[in-house]
A and B are shown apart, each in its own frame.
Chain A
Amino acid sequence: AQSVTQLGSHVSVSEGALVLLRCNYSSSVPPYLFWYVQYPNQGLQLLLKYTSAATLVKGINGFEAEFKKSETSFHLTKPSAHMSDAAEYFCAVSDKRDDKIIFGKGTRLHILP
């Protein structure tokens, strides 16, 4: 069965500092991996996705994530945090067999001035 674990339900970084949100997955077949962001009172917006092409995936708003099969990880990074990055971030996994997406519990990112 597929699963996703996001380490840290809350992460705080200073404005301008590196953002690192951790995600580990479990899947019996090569997975598709996603990062979504949710701003208050809004739906989810796709940041980036991995579909077995390049292992380093670049997304919107300066975010990127690296697929590491040996570590079963798909951590999200951004070199320099901006106040507008404050939101909740969800890592998710699916596979070729169906469209069901399994989400992690989410990490709320706080940006300190």
Chain B
Amino acid sequence: KAGVTQTPRYLIKTRGQQVTLSCSPISGHRSVSWYQQTPGQGLQFLFEYFSETQRNKGNFPGRFSGRQFSNSRSEMNVSTLELGDSALYLCASSLGQGGQETQYFGPGTRLLVL
């Protein structure tokens, strides 16, 4: 079974631009979560989707948004990019809901904002 895939793997943008990141979960998985990883802040939860509905959201500004499609694929969008948005963005999928579910992580998208 294929793992979680994220595209693109690397991205360079300039301040003020917007970016869309894509995540394809493991086949059959309906929950997708997004995390931001930076050296200073570590791993921080962005949001989680289940069956096209956002169930949870972390403490990030409204510039960060996401959505999930009927095939469970998810996209994350960041508008008006800032230098501090440079990070590794990780997507994770799980079979169902609930804190006990194992989340499987993709390799991440490394975003550099210049």
Contact = CB atoms under 8 A, between A and B. Distances in A.
Interface string B5-37: 000000000000000000000000001010100
Interface string B28-55: 0001010100000011110010100001
A33 to B, nearest CB: 10
Contacts of A96: 98-100
A46 interface: yes
Contacts of B31: 99
Contacts of A45: 105
A98 B55 contact: yes
- Chain B binding surface SS class: strand
B4 A43 contact: yes
Contacts, number: 67
- Chain A binding surface SS class: loop
A50 B11 CA distance: 36
Contacts of B107: 41-43
Chain A: interface residue count, which band? 20 to 34
B99 A94 contact: yes
B66 interface: no
A107 to B, nearest CB: 11
Interface of B: 4, 31, 33, 35, 42-45, 48, 50, 55-56, 58, 90, 92, 94, 97-108
Interface of A: 31-32, 36, 41-46, 49, 51, 90, 94-106
